Amino acid sequence: MDRWRAALRPALPLATNHLGGDDKVTPQLISVVTSTVAQQTARPPWWRDIRILRVVVQVAATAVIGLILYVLWFNLTNNMRRIGIELGFDFLQQPVGVSVTGSDISAGSAVWRALVVGIKNTFALVVVGLPLLTIIGVLVGVARLSTNWLVAKAATIYVETLRNIPPLLVILVAFFVGILPLPTIQDPVEIFDLAIVNNRFIAVTGFTANPGFSTFMWIMLGALVVSAIVWRWRTAVFDASGKPHHRVLWSLGVMLGLGVVGFLVIGRPFELSKPVLDGRVLTGGYSGLGGYFAMLVALVLYTASHVAEIVRGSILAVPKGQTEAANALALSGFQRLRHVTLPQAMRIALPPTINQYLNYVKNTSLGIAVGYSEVTLIAFQAVGNGRPAPQMVLILMASYLVFSLVISAVVNVLNRRLQLVTQ
């Protein structure tokens, strides 16, 4: 009897329910049911068998997707061949034919080298932009919740203005209003010899490496390790004795001390390099083109307005009891923010912020509007000069995908570290 019941349960749940409890099964009912089951065999027909259907559906779905991809691929290659567009990626080795601003790419350089310059230029926007927009976003987000009327309103106006304008418009405004009106290169503004500002580029004092710089970098790496050990030691002291740890001061002090020692031992491994403008030729310092700063300012401000909203929402999402508890402990407003509210808000804010980071990366492709040689501009430049568009679009997609995946990976690791272990 148990054997029948086991067979019945998956196939005829209603029947088994109808049969009720174990000991109320009448022999008559059993005989009716068992006879039908015997006729149908223990398993339903294959077109109703969930185990088969599962496999069949998955195979079919895969086949359909594969077919669609195949048709698209067939169309692409066939149409390309018919129109006479070259297949393959051999063109990457051919000369690019145009010079690229702010790089050593000239007419004879290979196409792939120009693309690498474009990717570097995109990266230059990303690596500076993401930290900047995070800082501005958090500050504005906190400011929107400020009890100071002026601060809160200013932050609101900032967010609501930028959030509701297409990024291309923000970029063009930054270019026309922020960059072009700067003095010309013939009459630049020089700030104490340390920076040169004109509407072509902005150059600031930087460093140049001397011989021995790599040795110095190894020393600094060692110093980092030592200061990390010192950090742990001070933490241990604090945990054990309750004495103030001052671990930030300690670590920085160790690092700085070792750095100074290394600097003196090697003998000037690097030195200051001031920007010098001779006619139109700039030497020394770090410099960025006008288009770069237009892009950076516009995209950072634009994306920060979105991040600010995320931060504000996340702070509001921290349970009110947390704030009340902090108040009960007589923490100051800043201490409450620093130790109670923000750490918890951050956990909520991080996942949606990744989206904004990715949007920022994708929006850098608008650099073509203001003549900033990021990867999209380089790609379209090459397409305009006879390179095959389908392959170039594929390369562009791949570049942005890599940017996005790396950023997601980094932030996701961070996210995992931040989540409460107990949850």
| Sites of contact with another protein (CB under 8 A) | 72, 74-76, 78-80, 82-85, 97-102, 106-107, 172, 175-176, 179-181, 184-186, 199-200, 279-281, 290-291, 368-371, 373, 377, 380-381, 383-385, 389-390, 392-393
Q: Per-residue DSSP letters for 30-74?
A: HHHHHHHHHHH-SS--GGG-HHHHHHHHHHHHHHHHHHHHHHHHH
Min dist. Cβ of residue 97 to another protein (A): 4
Nearer to another protein, 130 or 296 (CB): 296
CB 4 → another protein: shortest distance, Å?
57
Closest approach, Cβ 400 to another protein, in A, equals 14
> Dihedral angle at the C-alpha atoms of 76, 77, 81, 84, nearest 10 degrees?
60
Rounded Cα–Cα distance for residues 58 and 50 (Å): 12
Nearer to another protein, 44 or 390 (CB): 390
Burial 263-272 (b: 16+ CB within 10 A, else e): beebeebbee
Q: Which is nearer to another protein, 176 or 218 (CB)?
A: 176
Between CA 155 and CA 144 the distance in angstroms is 5
Half-sphere exposure of 11 (CA within 13 A, CB side): 18
When the beta carbons of 223 and 282 are compared against another protein, the nearer one is 282
DSSP code of 371? Answer: T
- The CB-of-397 to another protein minimum distance in angstroms stands at 11
Dist CA 360 CA 365 (whole Å):
9
Largest Cα–Cα distance of the chain, in whole Å? 107
- Residue (242 or 279) nearer to another protein, CB: 279
Least distance to another protein from the beta carbon of 417, Å? 40
Task: Quote the CA–CA distance of 35 and 20 in Å, as a whole number.
Answer: 19
Provide the minimum distance between the beta carbon of 113 and another protein in the complex, in angstroms, as a whole number: 14
Comparing CB distances to another protein, the nearer of 11 and 383 is 383
How many CB atoms within 10 Å of residue 402?
11
